[in-house]
A = this chain, B = another copy of it.
Amino acid sequence: MRDGTKGVCAPKGFVAGGIRCGIKKSSAKNDLALVKCEVPCRAAAVYTRNKVYGAPITVTRKNLENGTAQAIVCNSGNANTCNADGVMIAEKMCVLAGEALGIDPSDVIIGSTGVIGQPLPLEPIEWGIRSLAPKLTRDGAHEAQLAIMTTDIRPKETAVTFDLDGVTVTIGAMAKGSGMIRPNMATMLSFITTDCAISAPMLEKALKLTVDDTYNMVSVDGDTSTNDMVSVMASGLAGNAPIETEGPAFDAFVSGLTAVATRISRMIAADGEGATKLIEVAVTGAPDRQAARTVAKSVVMSSLVKAAMFGADANWGRILCAIGYADAEFDASQIEVLLSSPAGRIRVCLHGSGVPFSEEEAKKILLETEIRVEINMHQGTAFATAWGCDLTYDYVKINGDYRT
């Protein structure tokens, strides 16, 4: 598997672009993205489990019922959620995109991210779609990425290539992360593209297999957003023998998809609102997979663990506490905990009790920007990894007054 950098335009057939149309009033940033494929794609998506969900979720779900899509339209600055006319506006956006791109409006994947509950004006979007549509290029992935950011500081895009029976297949992705990020179904906006030839049912199956160990293992603040979605479009232009059943080719595709999704997940965690550190919680020796996931997420979501990491304080008792209230069955008296980073690795807890360690060494380890909490439960062979970030003054600052 090799790295690529052209994001959603890395696979064959995709063009993209971004523009500032004026939804974000006070900002000079892009706020509207378009991605188009030269051919209709097999497509699938997973959606937020929040019972309050945005109009774009309603419309995308309907548009993907037939497993086909050819374009993405996504705005930032307004979530188009909890608005009485939201679905009508979202459908209008698909019609506008369809007209401007010369495709069927029902083949459009639509996303919106930003403030909830403020009417989304159609005029700037109409102007934006019409201006942007003729300008989409093979180099436009980054401009599209910039247009879907809200409080994100760093863009999140990646791509991998791998061989499938002598044919080179590429998977690319971009994402919007930062706030309202919590592990439970698709937990952010992420658009994946690939040139792999694969049937719609197998594409959906691959996506579902991937999200539980990647996107769903990320937490920034424990809040599951109303608009989260991960979509994937497959153009088939790589020319591989179409994947229509499980087998080695399907497994290779899932591996590639997992690699892309893991990278995006780490990027989202590291760029959490106000974050100064990426926290990776790796659970091993768990009685079963679900327990491993639940324990890893419980630790990565703990406000007290997150604040201790910000302060580079090896307060491992908080880690044990968060393990203990995880909703899973296990024996807490077997647990071992280690802290590691590029600066070193120390054991802080064995058999559920503290062990002596050097506070100085611990401090050195925790002052790094990527911290790994290793939890060996010593009661099985299951494992899982979760990603999050520290809780900082800036998180409070960003969210104390987001709208103004």
User: Secondary structure at chain A's binding surface: helix, strand, loop or mixed?
Assistant: loop
Pairwise interchain contact A352-B82, C-beta atoms closer than 8 A: yes
**In the bound complex, CA of A325 to CA of B180 (Å):** 11
Are A223 and B303 CB-contacts (below 8 A) given A84-B353, A393-B393?
yes
A226 and B320 contact, CB distance less than 8 A: yes
Q: A117-B316, A322-B223 are in contact. Are A307 and B399 (CB under 8 A)?
A: yes
Stretch binding the partner chain, chosen from A22-30, A32-40, A46-54 = A46-54
CA distance A324 to B57 in the complex (A): 14
A226: which B residues are within 8 A, CB to CB? 317, 320-321, 324
| A317-B117, A320-B226, A325-B50 given; A307·B353 CB < 8 A | no
Cα A119 to Cα B399 in complex, Å, equals 39
Bound: A349/B117 CA distance, A:
9
Is A400 part of the binding interface, using a Cβ–Cβ cutoff of 8 Å?
yes
Closest B-chain residue to A305, C-beta based?
Answer: B223
Contact (A321, B180) CB under 8 Å given A304-B399, A349-B117, A402-B315:
yes
| Residue among B50, B308, B321, B354 making CB contact with A399, cutoff 8 Å | B308
Q: Does any Cβ of B come within 8 Å of A195's Cβ?
A: no
Interface of chain A residues 320 through 351 with chain B (CB within 8 A): 320-326, 330, 332, 349, 351
Q: Are A396 and B392 closer than 8 Å at their CB atoms?
A: yes
Instruction: Tell me if A7 is interfacial: C-beta within 8 Å of chain B.
Output: no
Q: A146-190 CB contact bits vs B (8 Å, 1 = yes)?
A: 000000000000000000000000000000000110101000000
> What residues on B are CB-neighbors of A401 within 8 Å?
311, 313
CA distance A401 to B403 in the complex (A): 30
Number of copies: 2
A222 touches B222 (CB 8 A): yes
**A residues whose Cβ falls under 8 Å from a Cβ of B:** 49-53, 79, 81-84, 115-119, 179-180, 182, 184, 221-226, 301-304, 307-308, 310-311, 313, 315-318, 320-326, 330, 332, 349, 351-354, 391-393, 395-404
Residues of B within 8 A of A84 (CB): 351, 353
A115 in complex: contacting residue of B117, B317, B404, CB < 8 Å? B317
Is the beta-carbon distance between B403 and A313 smaller than 8 angstroms? yes
Q: A51-B324, A52-B320, A325-B223 are in contact. Are A311 and B400 (CB under 8 A)?
A: yes
Which residues of chain B are within 8 angstroms of A324 by Cβ–Cβ distance? 50-53, 224, 226
| A304-B221, A349-B117, A399-B303 known; A52-B310 Cβ under 8 A | no
Of B303, B320, B396, the contact of A310 (CB 8 Å cutoff): B396
**Interface residue from B81, B304, B326, B403 paired with A180 (Cβ < 8 Å):** B304
Hey, which chain B residues are within 8 Å of A307, CB to CB? Answer: 395-396, 398-400
**B325 near A400: Cβ-Cβ < 8 Å:** no
Residue of A51, A184, A404 with most partner-chain B CB within 10 A:
A51
| A320 in contact with B396 (CB, 8 Å) | no
B residues less than 8 Å from A118 (CB atoms): 317, 354
Give the residues in chain B near A325, CB-CB below 8 Å: 49-52, 182, 184, 223-224
With beta carbons under 8 angstroms apart, the residue of B52, B353, B397, B402 that contacts A82 is B353
A302 to B72, CA, bound (A): 31
* Inter-subunit contact A223/B52 (CB<8 Å): no
> How far is it, in angstroms, between the C-alpha of A304 and the C-alpha of B225 when the chains are bound?
11
Q: A223 is contacted by which of B116, B119, B180, B302 (Cβ under 8 Å)?
A: B302
A351 contacts which chain B residues (CB < 8 A)? 84
